A and B are shown apart, each in its own frame.
Chain A
């Protein structure tokens, strides 16, 4: 079974983003970019399935600017076999990405697509579900456990009230949550090897997908600032303040 793992290039999780002065977005020039942390978990899961003999090939795919190649190289260094870049300078929305991925899925025929549950830049949490809908496949979202069966998979979903276990029919889409695994670091030899692994570049036009935005960003601003309050010397004072000043207990 082939596994497809879409990965996204985002501002590194450790960078504190700054809103651009002209209010058009956040500063991404000269800022460290990395693979979205949830995508790393997705790549790791695919590699573990291959190591367990349950997957034959892992294809990493990224949609976006040319530099997304670097993100694909990271996936290849972790252990993916080859990469596909769907290259465009258009700022892609989840629906457009889902359509591009659908075209790639139809070409590659994977048995499972593993995605991160959300990207830490736009926090949309949409792409996996949309891709699943477009393909008419089953979906297991926000999963913390994946057990492959015969033509099915049992997945444990992290939901608001706890954990839900469902059986999904393969081929399927799963989106991963934090506790599924701990992604590995790529070793130096593997980083070197990854440079020789193939990356194919495709264009949205060639895939017949219209990627024009449906939701336009009018402006981006800083959130209202919350000011620091006071330090209290001890527990007694704290309780007194909460009771009499803030009146919340």
Chain B
């Protein structure tokens, strides 16, 4: 039995979500083979070889894989899949985009967003925004699975020395063309991997007020997130969103500011180690999951928090 892991990377570096996926793959038993599909991705391939627990790295280097377009990457994975019992990828937008395409081409079902492994064919996954946990068994010969990063520890990025082989790259299908990336560069850590996350909700009242959260984030080296309500209100872009339909985070410390605690938000953060809630409504459901609750007007509490942290 061996497991193929589709690595998420930016051609230079391996994304942290890949490390969590390697841990999940190792739990299944057997060899863990990492596939790095990219363009000019030798650096990422070399980084992949150092990950502890990886038996082999396959590098498929082609302009067709430069932007990880699902139409091009999926056939590559499908071509390799018959040698493996499992194909895994992180349940990030990268994995979510490509893996169902892989599964359908293999004519197998997909098990999405697993949070636990019971046996090589039986997995635990959250359904209904994490309000229920389902144990499911895959009857397919090849198991196609996406992995919830926050549920598995990261494999050490150093310490391994796996051999790197080239995999034959396929053609560009020409179905889809990458135009551009519109992302805001931030000096802060990434939301899904940050040790501390501070999020704002509708209670922030305006996008400008998120500056108060940013000031605290900079002091704590934290990432800034938001509830769906804050995103819907246009305060911040959607890539800030924590919740069922946004990002799943599980930091050491999660600070929820002006967030009432709707089910769909809790689904994205309730596995955090320590949760702090600041809300002026003492009945807000967020307090039911918070380790430390502060009933206060955030416009008064946040400046105080910034000041106290400076001490």
Contacts and interface: CB of A to CB of B under 8 A. Distances in A.
Interface of A: 11, 13, 16-17, 19, 26, 38, 93-95, 98, 117-118, 120-134, 137-142, 144, 154, 156-169, 177-179, 213-223, 226, 228-232, 234-236, 238-239, 241-242, 246, 248-249
A95 B292 contact: no
B233 to A, nearest CB: 11
Contacts of B253: 242, 246, 248-249
B179 A167 contact: yes
Contacts of B239: 158-163
B283 interface: no
B218 interface: no
Given A133-B101, A162-B181, A162-B182, A16 B131 contact: yes
B225 interface: no
B176 to A, nearest CB: 5
B96 A141 contact: yes
A194 B239 CA distance: 37
Interface in B110-132: 110-113, 122, 126-132
A48 to B, nearest CB: 18
B142 to A, nearest CB: 11
B287 interface: yes
A248 B127 contact: no
Nearest to B228: A178
B97 A129 contact: yes
A contacts with B: majority SS: mixed
B108 A235 contact: no
A126 B132 contact: no
Q: Chain B interface secondary structure, helix, strand, loop or mixed? A: mixed
Contacts of B181: 161-165
B126 A139 contact: no
A137 B133 CA distance: 34
Interface residues of B, number: 90
B165 interface: no
B301 interface: yes
Given A95-B110, A138-B71, A165 B182 contact: yes
B182 A169 contact: no
Given A218-B137, A249-B253, A26 B128 contact: yes
Given A163-B181, A216-B137, A125 B96 contact: yes
A168 B71 CA distance: 10
Given A126-B112, A220-B127, A162 B291 contact: no
Nearest to A128: B100
A131 B184 CA distance: 32
B153 interface: no
A167 B177 contact: yes
Contacts of B294: 231-232, 234-235, 238
Contacts of A177: 238, 245
B157 interface: no
Contacts of A246: 253, 274, 291-292
A122 B125 CA distance: 9
A160 B18 CA distance: 14
Interface stretch (B34-42, B57-65, B302-310): B302-310
A215 B135 contact: no
Given A94-B110, A162-B183, A239-B309, 5 more contacts: A13-B264, A166-B69, A219-B134, A238-B276, A239-B305
B310 to A, nearest CB: 11
Contacts of B212: none
Interface string B132-159: 1111111110000000000000000000
B86 interface: no
B32 interface: no
B179 A221 contact: no
B80 interface: no
A214 B140 contact: yes
A142 B95 CA distance: 13
14 contacts: A93-B109, A98-B104, A122-B128, A129-B70, A138-B176, A139-B71, A162-B182, A162-B183, A166-B177, A215-B140, A226-B270, A231-B295, A234-B296, A242-B292
B230 interface: no
A123 B132 contact: no
A133 B196 CA distance: 38
A163 B181 CA distance: 6
B104 A218 contact: no
Nearest to B180: A165
B292 A123 contact: no
Nearest to A223: B133
B247 interface: yes
B133 A222 contact: yes
Nearest to A214: B109
Contacts of A164: 67, 178, 180-182
Contact of A129 (B104, B263, B288): B104
Which of B178, B190, B239, B292 has the most A CB atoms < 10 Å from its CB?
B292
Nearest to A229: B291
B192 interface: yes
B308 A232 contact: no
